Each structure stands twice: as C-alpha cells, then as structure tokens.
C-alpha cells in the first residue's frame, strides 16, 4: 500500500515539539524560570503539587509583557532574542518569553498572567495549545505562569513520569543549578506545604553555596579566577584537604547558563594533579566567559549541553585556572575549619620520632659517596629560583608572612612560621616531599637529576616481578639518579644514587621504591599520569626527610625557601597538606576575644 506524505496539524506538531523540550515537570520549571531570569526578575517563586505533575506555578517580578506579546508568545517560533539566522551564533540570553511556552501549552492547561508597560495586566487561558480566552487583569509588573495537568492529553508520556517525590527532587535539582548560575536572584521552591528552597539574592557565590549545603561545605571552597586566551574561568573549587570520595557537587556555567560537559570536569580534575589522593572528588562551581560566537548553546533541545568552537583551549583554561587556585595560600588547610585528609596507615617516621633525645641523628648512614653533597644548607638546586633576600617574603607568601619569618621546629616534625594573619605550621616530611617531586619532574625535562657515585655499589636481590619492573623503568630511574645494572637472574647492582639530604638512606629508599612501583596499587601510583610521575612521586615520598629528624635553623630556612619556590607549596603528592594555616581570627575565637 502506498503511503501519502501529509502535513501534520498544528496541534500534533506542537505535541511532537513539546516532546523535545518538555520531558518532565523539571523541564517546565527550567524553561519558565529561565524566561523569568531573562526578563530581569530579581525574585522567582516556584510552587509545585504532586512533584509538578498536577500543578506548577512560576511567578516573577521581571519586565512582564504587553498584551500583544503575551498573545504572540504562544505561537510556535515566536521569540524576542533573534531576528536572523546569524543571531544564533551570539545568543547571550536563555531566551525571553516564547521559545518553550508553545510546547508547554500543547501538553497542559496553561494560564499566563502578566503586565508590562500596559496600564492593566493580561490573563490568557489555553488548553492543549489552543487559546481559550484573553482578559484584563489588575496586577503589578511581572509574570505568573501556571501549568496544570501536565501531559493530560498525552497519557502515554504521562505514564513515564516517576513518583511525586522523585519529580520534586528533579525540580529542586534544576532550580539549584539555576540558583548557582544566578546567585543575585532570590529563588523560592515550595512543594505542597513544604518549602524546599528559600534562597535570598547575594553577590557572593560562597554565600549561595552555604545557603544550599551549609557553612561547613562553603568554607572548604576557594576562589578561582584566570583569564586565558580569550576565556575567563572564575568560580569556586574545593580545597584539596577537604576533597573526599563519593558524592560531589560539580556545576559548570557558560554565560550564566548551566550545562554538562564531562571533558571539562576532567580538565578541572587534572588541575588537582598531585594535590589530592586517588578517588577524591572535589566540589567545583566554574563559570566560563568566552568570546561572542565561540559557543553554540543550541545543540541540545533542552539546552543541557553546549559546543565550543575550540574545546581544547577551554579545557586548557579550566585546568590552568584550577591549578592557579591551588597554588594560592587560600588552598592551604586551616586549623579549626575542616580536618585534613587522613594520612596513610603507615606514616614515614625516623627511628628517633618516639622518644629519642633532641638532636639525635641515629639513622643508619648512606653508603659512602664519591664527594658527599648535602642539599640542605647548600643553596637552591640547579634551576630553582633564588631564595629571597633577608627581610623579603618568599614566593607564594606575599600576603602571609611578615618579611622572612622566624622558624621554629617542634616535636622534630613540624616547623612553625609567623605570618601576617596568624601562623603557618609546616609538616617537614610533606614539605620536602613536594620539593623533591617538583625538582625531579623539572630534571626529567632537562635531561635528568644529579647523582652521586657510590664507592661501594649496592647489591640487591629482587623477586622476579621486581626485577621485571626495574628492567622496564631502568632508563627513568637512571634519570632520577639511580644507575642500576642487572646482574644474574635475581640481582641488580646500584652504582649511583641521588643525595636529597644528609640522612638519606639510599638502600632503603630504592628498595621501597621498587616495591611500590611493582605493586602499583597505592593511591600514589593510581594518581600518577605516567611513569615519570610514578617514579618522581615514589622517590619524593621515600627520599624526603622523615618526621623525627631534628633540623638546624639553617636547614629549616632552606626547606622553607625551597618549599615556597615550588608551584604548589601547600600540598604534598599524597594529597595531604604540607602547610596548615592558623589564623589570628581562630586564635582569638579560641581565647574568647
């Protein structure tokens, strides 16, 4: 049988179009609230019943519409934001009245009450997309849209809706995302007789996060701001010490429009590289500003996705912005706010950490070297920035220390430095870990690290798996300072080793490195991007000075200067803090000032 091609009636065409825009009550709320915000609303009130399946009401105090526009907004393809096809490349709004309203009206009983510049307002009733009546209405400027019986004329689609509670949650999530995109707007959501959201407008993004998830969560966030190549990235990300596995909040916005893009979330996570443990999922709220015409916001019917002309450049900007935020003093863990990430079960400590007398240095010495070289009290490593002159602040600390701060070691584990706004407490092992990691990564890019030749080479017996691992990474180990030759079926000979400090135990270090590299199951190994990072992380962890090692004033100063010459001085490679900030405000609070 030959089928004839026919043009569908408007009512059927509108229902098909509605299926692209209106998936559930949350879709209706999203469109109506976006319209309200585009209309300049400073307050939007949303009410739903039965999760929005029975009734949705969105009221705003925006510009409102004159009668002619109110009637026209229910026509398909009626819009206030474009006049020609070229305008699609530069849309900066969500869309004023009209884009979604015909689709919503096609599958519901709709009532619009609005007033713009007219002396009286306008009320319009429509059912199934057909206007029933238009009447005068006394009301203030603004618009109220009420949707009843969603999908009353499309029962097949109505059956796909979830429970009232699930639909209410979806509405709340949509409104939460819009609230983060527009913190300046006051937003309220009432479901039945329960108020789910009540957010007053603010110019502080952190205050909006606090209103949604509490002060404790908001206090873990630090500011992000970086212009790069025409893209501006700003917002908030979580301090590394507060990042945890499991549930996380990750919201992206472009020109105040929420959107989804897993690749950009991954780019932001790359910015956290070597500052958080494997599996940690930091919160992030990132707003992007891009050149006009460089993003297409119309690739998804529900406007949940966008397409960037140069996505690679945007990803680079996001990663760099997060990285820059983590290099700032604000990313250091504070005292009295949030607990740092729990350290691994086995903490590296010196043998005199638990009770040996001060000044004890009874660690087994390294094998003899041809020309012992101590990196402490020897000036910066090749390529490091010069340490600050007396009285000058160290890099990264311009806002914190009072000149070059006095340093004190206590419990042979922590170094205390006076800062302008309180105290810095430095973990000497974690700090040295960060220094060694960045030095070795830089050395990899410059041909390799310096090494010292042993007068008596080390002979190590290894398991078959360990021997295989050493053979695979021998070249990288050599560039890290460990020159190793295979000798027989289960033995290697170590000819050279690095010399990161006077108490370095080369044999213990290389044995532990080989064990960890072979197992490959630690958080450290999972966090590494490549073999270079795996070896640099492992060497930094195993080669750094340990808790329990007494340091002289000169050694503390050299470590302090070296730490704050690194890119990320506030975090070690495990994702633990290297520095904890104790603010004057916290001290005053503790003392009841």
End-to-end CA distance of the chain: 90
Q: Are residues 81 and 194 in the same domain?
A: yes
At 281, which CATH number?
3.30.230.10
Q: Judge whether 206 and 538 are in contact, CB under 8 Å.
A: no
Q: Are residues 421 and 551 in the same domain?
A: yes
β-partners of residue 222 are 237
- Measured from the Cβ of residue 234, the count of other Cβ atoms closer than 10 Å reads 18
At 469, which CATH number?
3.30.1370.100
Tokens 């030095």 label which residue? 439
At 109, which CATH number?
3.30.565.10
Q: What angle do CA 337, 207, 241 make, to 5 degrees?
A: 30
For 36, 122, 481, 515, the CA distances from 508, given in Å and listed in that order, are: 66, 82, 15, 11
- Which of these three, 326, 357, 390, is where a domain ends? 326
The pTM of the full predicted model, rounded to 2 decimals, is 0.81
Domain assignment of residue 384, yes or no:
no
Q: Are residues 469 and 568 in the same domain?
A: yes
CA neighbours closer than 13 Å in the CB half-sphere of residue 503: 20
Cβ neighbours for 447, distance < 8 A, ≥ 6 positions apart:
479
Domain assignment of residue 363, yes or no:
no
Q: Which residues constitute the domain of residue 113? A: 10-199
Rounded Cα–Cα distance for residues 304 and 297 (Å)? 8
Helix (H, G, I), strand (E, B) or coil at 176: helix
Q: Are residues 157 and 213 in the same domain?
A: no
Q: Are residues 261 and 166 in the same domain?
A: no
Helix (H, G, I), strand (E, B) or coil at 216: helix
Domain assignment of residue 355, yes or no:
no
Q: Are residues 155 and 47 in the same domain?
A: yes
Q: What integer pLDDT is reported at residue 575 of this predicted model?
A: 86
Domain assignment of residue 458, yes or no:
yes
Q: Are residues 35 and 176 in the same domain?
A: yes
Rounded Cα–Cα distance for residues 115 and 431 (Å)? 63
Burial 285-295 (b: 16+ CB within 10 A, else e): bbbbebeeebb
Q: Are residues 23 and 160 in the same domain?
A: yes
Q: What integer pLDDT is reported at residue 299 of this predicted model?
A: 56
Q: What integer pLDDT is reported at residue 244 of this predicted model?
A: 92
Helix (H, G, I), strand (E, B) or coil at 306: coil
- Which of these three, 280, 300, 326, is where a domain ends? 326
Q: Are residues 195 and 210 in the same domain?
A: no
Per-residue pLDDT of the chain (593 residues; tens, 9 = 90+): 556 666 656 655 565 555 457 899 999 999 999 999 999 999 999 999 999 999 999 999 999 999 999 999 888 766 555 455 554 455 555 543 446 888 899 999 999 999 999 999 999 999 998 999 999 999 999 999 999 999 999 898 899 999 999 999 999 999 999 999 999 999 999 999 999 999 999 999 999 999 999 999 999 999 999 999 889 999 999 999 999 998 899 999 998 889 999 999 999 999 999 999 888 999 999 999 998 888 877 655 556 678 888 999 999 999 999 999 999 999 999 986 543 333 333 334 343 333 333 333 334 444 554 444 545 655 455 555 555 554 444 555 554 445 578 899 999 999 999 888 889 999 999 999 999 999 999 999 998 999 999 999 999 999 999 999 999 999 999 999 999 999 988 999 999 999 999 999 999 999 999 999 998 877 777 777 889 999 999 999 999 999 999 999 999 999 999 999 999 999 999 889 999 999 888 889 989 88
**And the tokens for 561?**
């200067």
Q: Are residues 441 and 513 in the same domain?
A: yes
Q: Are residues 99 and 218 in the same domain?
A: no
Cβ neighbours for 454, distance < 8 A, ≥ 6 positions apart:
367, 368, 369, 370, 494, 495, 496, 497, 506
Q: Mark out the alpha helices in 425-552 (DSSP H runs).
A: 428-445, 464-479, 506-519, 523-527, 531-543
- Which of these three, 164, 199, 234, is where a domain ends? 199
| Domain total of the chain | 3
Q: Judge whether 550 and 556 are in contact, CB under 8 Å.
A: no
Helix (H, G, I), strand (E, B) or coil at 24: coil
Q: Are residues 214 and 107 in the same domain?
A: no
């Amino acid at each position: 049988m030959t089928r004839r091609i026919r043009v569908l009636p408007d009512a059927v065409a509108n229902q098909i179009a509605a299926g692209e825009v209106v998936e559930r009550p949350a879709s209706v709320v999203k469109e109506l609230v976006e319209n309200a915000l585009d209309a300049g609303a400073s307050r939007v009130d949303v009410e739903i019943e039965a999760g929005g399946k029975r009734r949705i009401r969105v009221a705003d105090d925006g510009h409102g519409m004159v009668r002619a526009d109110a009637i026209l907004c229910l026509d398909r393809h009626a819009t206030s934001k474009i006049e020609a096809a070229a305008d699609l490349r530069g849309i900066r709004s969500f869309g004023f009245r009209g884009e979604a309203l015909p689709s919503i009206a096609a599958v519901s009983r709709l009532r619009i009450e609005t007033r713009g510049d007219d002396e009286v307002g306008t009320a319009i009733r429509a059912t199934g997309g057909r206007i029933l009546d238009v009447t005068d209405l006394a009301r203030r400027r603004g618009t109220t849209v009420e949707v009843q019986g969603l999908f009353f004329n499309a029962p097949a689609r109505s059956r796909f809706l979830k429970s009232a509670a699930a639909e209410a949650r979806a509405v709340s999530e949509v409104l939460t995302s819009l609230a983060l995109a527009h913190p300046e707007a006051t937003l309220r959501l009432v479901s039945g007789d329960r108020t789910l959201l009540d957010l007053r407008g603010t110019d502080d993004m952190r205050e909006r996060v606090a209103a949604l998830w509490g002060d404790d969560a908001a206090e873990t966030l630090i500011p992000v701001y970086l212009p790069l190549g025409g893209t501006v990235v700003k917002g908030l990300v979580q301090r590394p010490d507060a990042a945890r596995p499991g549930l996380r909040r990750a919201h992206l916005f472009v020109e105040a429009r929420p959107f989804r893009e897993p690749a950009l979330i991954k780019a932001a996570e790359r910015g956290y590289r070597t500052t958080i443990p494997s599996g940690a999922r930091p919160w992030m709220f990132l707003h992007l500003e891009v050149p006009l015409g460089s993003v297409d916001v119309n690739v998804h019917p529900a406007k949940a996705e966008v397409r960037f002309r140069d996505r690679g450049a945007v990803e680079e900007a996001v990663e760099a912005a997060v990285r820059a935020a983590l290099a700032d003093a604000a990313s250091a863990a504070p005292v009295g706010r949030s607990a740092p990430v729990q350290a691994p079960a086995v903490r590296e400590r010196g043998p005199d950490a638990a009770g040996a007398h001060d000044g004890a240095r009874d660690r087994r010495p390294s094998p003899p070297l041809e020309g012992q070289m101590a990196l402490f009290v020897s000036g910066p490593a090749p390529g490091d920035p010069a340490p600050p002159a007396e009285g000058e602040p160290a890099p990264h600390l311009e806002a914190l220390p009072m000149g070059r701060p006095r340093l004190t070691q206590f419990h042979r584990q922590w170094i205390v430095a006076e800062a302008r706004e309180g105290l810095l407490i430095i973990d000497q092992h974690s700090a040295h870990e960060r220094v060694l990691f960045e030095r070795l990564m830089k050395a990899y890019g410059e041909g390799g690290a310096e090494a010292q030749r042993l007068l008596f080479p080390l002979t190590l017996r290894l398991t078959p798996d360990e021997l295989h691992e050493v053979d695979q990474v021998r070249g990288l180990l050599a560039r890290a300072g460990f020159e190793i030759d295979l000798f027989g079926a289960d033995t290697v000979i170590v000819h050279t080793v690095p010399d990161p400090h006077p108490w370095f135990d080369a044999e213990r270090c290389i044995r532990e490195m080989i064990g960890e590299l072979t197992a490959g199951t630690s958080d450290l190994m999972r966090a590494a991007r490549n073999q270079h990072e795996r070896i640099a992380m492992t060497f930094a962890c195993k080669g750094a000075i340990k808790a329990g090692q007494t340091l002289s004033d000169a050694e503390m100063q050299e470590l302090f200067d070296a730490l704050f010459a690194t890119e990320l001085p506030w975090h070690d490679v495990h994702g633990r803090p290297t520095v904890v900030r104790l603010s004057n405000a916290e001290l005053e609070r503790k003392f009841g000032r």
